[in-house]
Chain A
Amino acid sequence: MFPRGEKQSDLLAQVAFYAGLGFIIPVAVVLAYALGWWVDQKLGTSPVLAIVLAFVGLAGGIFETVRILTQREKSAGGDDSSTGSRSS
């Protein structure tokens, strides 16, 4: 059982972690699309690079989100194995 202060900081750490996790994909897509749009304006290739970079940003964002979740799942599974609470 956690003392109250430790429990609160643990909860806030989780809030920060998941809030950040949720923003990875949208931010990656929007930034990549904006970069592609800007380069397209410079090179006159609109909207080829914007589409390509939006896709690359999407792929990168999803990759990072799933990697973080999978890694955390593994480490949480390792922590839980001592208590036997890991399912599936």
Chain B
Amino acid sequence: MIPAPDLVRAEARMPRWMYGIALGGAIVTLLLGSERTAVGFSVGALFGILNYFWIHQAVVAMMNAEGARVPRVIVIKILLRYPLCFAGIFLIYKIGWSPILAVVGGLLVPGAGALVESLFLIGAGFRRDGLAG
């Protein structure tokens, strides 16, 4: 099993991958698509990364509660934040300001970050243990 400090570092690295992928994706969509596509992708990425931090906060609070009730503040925050996010994305669609697929593509940024981190951890495992050695 990977030692706990490595997992703590992995959790800390994940948002950095997300920022990098969001920035890279925005540049690529700007170069290959249009300004509107790039803005849509960036908005999706922003919502996705915010989502990651909110859920991370909620899961850590739940884990610390260990069977006890989840703090009411966390529940209220989630209930307030998500409708606002839906409303924001729906508004972008309604006014036709940006292609909705670009926004959905931006929502994939946290997933890409997790994927890159998993590849990084696999690579680190091979470097440390070495199948050949």
Please give the residue numbers on chain A whose beta carbons come within 8 Å of chain B beta carbons, in ascending order: 7-8, 10-11, 14-15, 18-19, 21-26, 28-30, 33, 47-48, 50-52, 54-55, 58-59, 61-63, 65-67, 69-77, 79-80, 85-88
A18 touches B122 (CB 8 A): yes
Q: Output the least CB separation between B54 and chain A (Å).
A: 9
Q: Which of B55, B111, B122 contacts A63 (CB 8 A)?
A: B55
B114 touches A24 (CB 8 A): yes
Q: Output the least CB separation between B127 and chain A (Å).
A: 11
The 9 closest A-B pairs by CB, nearest first: A22-B118, A25-B111, A26-B111, A77-B4, A22-B115, A76-B4, A18-B118, A73-B7, A66-B59
B: interface residue count bin: 35 or more
In the assembly, what is the distance between CA of A88 and CA of B111, in Å? 26
A86 touches B118 (CB 8 A): no
Q: Output the least CB separation between A43 and chain B (Å).
A: 16
Q: A15-B122, A25-B114, A55-B86 are in contact. List 20 more A-B contacts (CB 8 A).
A: A11-B129, A14-B121, A14-B125, A15-B125, A18-B122, A19-B122, A26-B108, A29-B107, A29-B111, A47-B93, A59-B51, A61-B111, A62-B56, A66-B59, A69-B7, A70-B60, A73-B11, A76-B1, A76-B7, A87-B8
Q: Output the least CB separation between A67 and chain B (Å).
A: 5
Given contacts A15-B125, A51-B100, A55-B107, contact A72 B7 (CB under 8 A): yes
Q: Output the least CB separation between B73 and chain A (Å).
A: 18
In the assembly, what is the distance between CA of A61 and CA of B60, in Å? 15
